[in-house]
Amino acid sequence: MSFSEFTKEDYKLIKQEYDVFIGHAAGRCRSEEELALVKKAFDFANTAHRNVRRRSGEPYIIHPIAVANIVITEIGLGCKSICAALLHDVVEDTEYTVQNISDLFGEKVASLVDGLTKIKTVLDNEDRRGNAYVYPESLQAENFKRILLTLNDDVRVVLIKLADRLHNCRTIEFMPEHKRDKILSETMYIFIPLAHRLGLYSVKSEMENIWLRFKEPDEFNEITRRISQNVALRDREIDEFIAPIAEELTQAGIKFTVKKRIKTPYSIWYKMQTKHVPFDQIYDLYAVRIIYDPKDQDPVSERNEAYIIYATVTKLYRDQPSRLRDWIKQSKSNGYEALHCTLMSKAGIWIEVQIRSRRMDDIAEKGIAAHWTYKNNGYTSENDSEVDKWLASIQDVLDSNDVNAVELLDIIHGDLTSKDIVVFTPKGEQRTVKNGTTVLDFAYMIHTDIGSSAIAAKVNMKLVPLSQVLKPGDQVEIITARTGHPKAEWLQFLTSRHARALVIEYFRNERDAMVAQGRQIYEERLEAMNMKSDRATLQRFLNYARLREVDELYFRIGLGIIGPEDFTKIVNGADNESDDRYIITPGGVGSRRYVMADCCHPIPGDPVIGFLSGKDTVIIHKKSCTVAENIASKFGEKVVVPEWVGTDMEFPIRISVRGIDRVGLLNDITSEISRNQGINIRKIQLGAEEDIMEGYIELLVKDKNNLKSMLEGLQKIEGLQDVLRTDIA
């Protein structure tokens, strides 16, 4: 922030933005009194932020106006939230207090502002003068815990914070690079999953695209270009696909609208990365959304009309049964309801069709706010409890006292990003569980006593062990015994935080014995590995386990939570990235030592992010590396902008290749790489089956230009269809 007198142009800009905003607010407020309160909040914030500018140079008040606009138009919150959005920076950045807000706008608005102020103070790691606070490493995780604690207190605080983060992302080019990287990593690690879980699809998608634009700019620009080209070619074909559907639905007397949707650049990039396919093999680029107004406003009629529409469109076009997704019968945990099917158009392209009622579409776009609006207006469906169940599960984790903040952040992140599957009880009741859930996790989910006394189970009428991982559609019956009790080995396969906590708590009654057993195991394993049992080694174990108490460490070793594989990692220093052999030391007074992370293998020319390790070492990751996202989201104070220059070193990369096999193809590939490009091949693993050749090649390249030249050369080889850079395992 900076201070300088506003000009006429500044006041003109403020008025323009205000006029648009107040038009939106007028449509959202339920009375003249509410609208008057919103106007009062704007006047107050406008006075408080007078002559204050953002990094972009524009008046600071533009930011609260933009946040309030997002709160109205993209999230759908009401008067008190609009006021809180306008006032959300006043207490932190001016001399006004929460009590001042309460006196003028009421306790609820003040409570929302107070929650947002606390989040901002600790999350941004800055005071009002722009000076960085010095925090212990775990505090950034503590900050996220404070955010999540407001979910059950008043979820509107988190929703307004998401609006605030979205606008900060929209203007992130004005941030210094190190802070930009920190903010984008936090956004990807926590805020994007939060937006997804709270059902804010448009907010989530926009944040993802902004993340990609700054983390992988070349890929973002190329994908955006390809989308534009594709749309120009396919737009008429999509319209021709829609026309018969619209005609049939009109004749059937269904009230509806149809929208066309193109897959976002981020979702295309993510699929290319995870499936290792080029752009041309993304077959679900297009979607058509049918939004209908039910004839009768009750859940059964609403649902049945969706199936009628599905029957209508599948009479017109061939569908792909394996791609049918029914989230009407069983909604997603964020409340999302829709029926998805994939149809083959007359032009020969697969198009996803999404069928939603008007209510379902509101919830899909505006998430939890719309969900609760309908609920408060008297509309209830079978799926109403899913969001509430998820909020309760989050609260269960937050209330736990036996994990530290960093562990808790990982648990929450895992919960936010996990996918759900549907399984069934013996009576046929549907239960939503996380993908990867075991039979024993399911038993504990039903009831603590059932989990603790479980001895086996039947899945689809077949006897299975408690460690069996459930699959979608499984029917599960738990077998219990009166003498059954938790066993320490259960901790090796339980995935549920709740179930693991119950098992650990059971053994706390035997804590002294477990501590003694753990100490003995610790010393015996170190002796077998020729390691000294000294204070330095013990500290390495405590750091690895993120613990402070030695007895708690021994307790976890005794239980088997910290096992032989963990010992190997700690003793061999696998957690110490400075052992990586790709090290650059440019030289010069005060120069830093740059270490190339072996999780993502960055090369010169890649967008990279650096993390301080010690006084003079910087670990270099690709900006889009998931490990880097994890680190930056928790330890933002370690983020630095790498300043290393060109080097004669070569760096490892892997390319995946696929094509039609022929005599001499391998020779052409190796000749292009070694002879024409002068690149050293380290390893080749290629195979052919039914005339399709595929596999990978590991190489040493000097920089991204070197790699690009080689890829362009390979793509010209006859029969070679796909050539992609992929991560080294």
Looking at the annotation, which residues are catalytic? 92-93
Helix (H) or strand (E) holding 434: strand 430-434
Residues with Cβ within 8 Å of 521's Cβ and at least 6 positions away in sequence, in order, are 557, 558
Q: Look at residue 727 and give its three-state secondary structure.
A: coil
- What tokens were used for 57? 């140079």
d(CA 652, CA 160): 44
Which letter does DSSP use for residue 75 in this model? I
Report CA-CA distances (Å) from 578 to 575, 604, 621, 637: 9, 18, 13, 19
Helix (H) or strand (E) holding 291: strand 286-293
Q: Which among 284, 285, 219, 276 has a CA at the least distance from the CA of 723?
A: 276
- What tokens were used for 215? 């983390």
- What tokens were used for 261? 């949707």
Cβ contact 61:48 at 8 Å: no
Number of H helices, E strands in the chain: 29, 21
Q: Would you call 649 exposed, middle or buried from its count of C-beta atoms within 10 A (0-12, 13-18, 19+)?
A: middle
Helix (H) or strand (E) holding 458: strand 454-459
- What tokens were used for 43? 């006047």
d(CA 365, CA 631): 31
d(CA 286, CA 297): 30
Q: Look at residue 723 and give its three-state secondary structure.
A: strand
d(CA 233, CA 401): 57
Q: Which among 500, 229, 202 has a CA at the least distance from the CA of 361?
A: 202
d(CA 694, CA 669): 12
d(CA 108, CA 570): 50
- What tokens were used for 662? 């022929």
DSSP lists the bridge partners of residue 353 as: 288, 341
List the strands of the sheet with 680-689, edge to edge.
680-689, 692-701, 651-660, 720-726
d(CA 30, CA 81): 13
d(CA 448, CA 504): 13
User: Cβ–Cβ contacts within 10 Å for residue 409, how many?
Assistant: 24
Q: Is 67 left (phi over 0), alpha (psi -120 to 50) or beta?
A: alpha
- β-pairing, 651-660 vs 430-434, is unpaired
Q: Which among 713, 654, 647 has a CA at the least distance from the CA of 678?
A: 713
Residues with Cβ within 8 Å of 520's Cβ and at least 6 positions away in sequence, in order, are none
